Amino acid sequence: MQIAVVSGKGGTGKTTVTSVFATLCGGVIVDCDVDAPNLHILLKPRILKEIPFTGMRKAKIIDEMCERCGLCEDLCRFDAINFDDDRYSVDVVRCEGCGFCYRACPNDAIEMVSEVRGKIFISETEYGPFVYAKLEPGEENSGLLVHEVKRVAEEIADERGFDTILIDGAPGIGCPVIASLSKVDKAVVVAEPTLSGLSDMERILMLIEHFKIEPYVIINKFDVNLDVSREIEDFCKSRNIPIVAKVPFYDDIPTLIANLKIPIKDEIVKAWRELSCMKRLRRG
């Protein structure tokens, strides 16, 4: 059983909810926000292993073999090859790894190389195994890294006999969140009662429904705007999507998080019990 906590954008309280779920789930915990991971700050993991992530191969010019013909610079449609100080070089941020220059160079002066672009961490917390990753600043391929992080978590679950994987999904609706949702059974959307929060929720729910994942919603800080909260409830009711928690605004949550304490709140605990109960019902 894979359960993902997602939101249409960052800053809705997704990681707060996941941290509370993590204390209750008794399974493998995964942070799929590889661009800006922060669940580890609250879970305080003990790192057991680091796995380098190499991502896609990029072009590299071997200067001694280059005859400065300029063909690669002309061919690269991503403007990733520069001529400076009488030598050609590749801008790795711009290079998309297409390999065109590598195949075209008349002197075999270009190689495609993998370099470490991030790290996956396998760790242990007081709540169970925890897998997370960090991508180097400016690097792309976060979707690929999310895929790897999830693969490692599934291996741990198989080896150690855990039947639940809890996922803190990547924010947004792009490639990393799609990778976060792969093989997921239930997705819990954390939404805030603002007009943009409503629109973000609708978009991520479309994605969840597209992948035929069971959708659930938590309204965070529901009492800061009761009108929009009602709109969220009406929307969910019209689509038959269960709202598993309406969490009020708690002014102590920022202080608890600043002090690295997980903000255990009754509404979130009950939401997890409801999700687990539905799991048992489904299996029974």
Cα distance between residue 230 and residue 233, in whole Å: 5
Query: Measuring CA to CA, which residue among 9, 29, 280, 56 is closest to residue 171?
Result: 9
Looking at 30, 110, 170, 181, which residue binds ligand SF4 (CB under 6 A)? 110
Q: Give the nearest distance from C-beta 144 to ligand SF4 in angstroms.
A: 17
Nearer to ligand SF4, 111 or 202 (CB): 111
Looking at 60, 100, 154, 253, which residue binds ligand SF4 (CB under 6 A)? 100
Does 109 engage in binding with ligand SF4 (CB under 6 A)? yes
Does 124 engage in binding with ligand SF4 (CB under 6 A)? no
Nearer to ligand SF4, 68 or 151 (CB): 68
* Rg of the chain in Å (alpha carbons): 22
Does 55 engage in binding with ligand SF4 (CB under 6 A)? no
Looking at 20, 59, 177, 245, which residue binds ligand SF4 (CB under 6 A)? 59
Nearer to ligand SF4, 66 or 269 (CB): 66
Q: Give the nearest distance from C-beta 35 to ligand SF4 in angstroms.
A: 22
Cα distance between residue 190 and residue 161, in whole Å: 29
Looking at 81, 232, 241, 275, which residue binds ligand SF4 (CB under 6 A)? 81
Cα distance between residue 103 and residue 58, in whole Å: 13
Looking at 24, 56, 71, 257, which residue binds ligand SF4 (CB under 6 A)? 71
Residues in the chain: 284
Query: Measuring CA to CA, which residue among 115, 82, 109, 83 is closest to residue 97?
Result: 115
DSSP of 91-123: -TTT-----HHHHH-TT--EEEE----EEEEEE
Helical residues (DSSP H) of the chain, grouped into ranges: 14-25, 39-43, 71-75, 100-104, 142-160, 175-181, 195-210, 226-239, 253-258, 266-283
Beta bridge partners of 227: none
- Eight-class DSSP state of 222: G
Does 88 engage in binding with ligand SF4 (CB under 6 A)? yes
List b or e across 162-180, with b for residues whose CB sees 16 or more CB atoms inside 10 angstroms: bebbbbbbbbbbebbbbbb
Nearer to ligand SF4, 81 or 152 (CB): 81
Nearer to ligand SF4, 43 or 90 (CB): 90
Does 139 engage in binding with ligand SF4 (CB under 6 A)? no
Does 43 engage in binding with ligand SF4 (CB under 6 A)? no
Nearer to ligand SF4, 97 or 215 (CB): 97
Nearer to ligand SF4, 112 or 278 (CB): 112
Looking at 26, 70, 174, 254, which residue binds ligand SF4 (CB under 6 A)? 70
Does 135 engage in binding with ligand SF4 (CB under 6 A)? no
Beta bridge partners of 28: 165
Question: Cβ contacts of residue 10 below 8 Å, gap of 6+?
Answer: 33, 36, 171, 172
Which stretches of the chain bind ligand SF4, using CB under 6 A?
59, 61, 66-72, 76, 78, 80-81, 88, 90, 95-101, 105, 107, 109-110
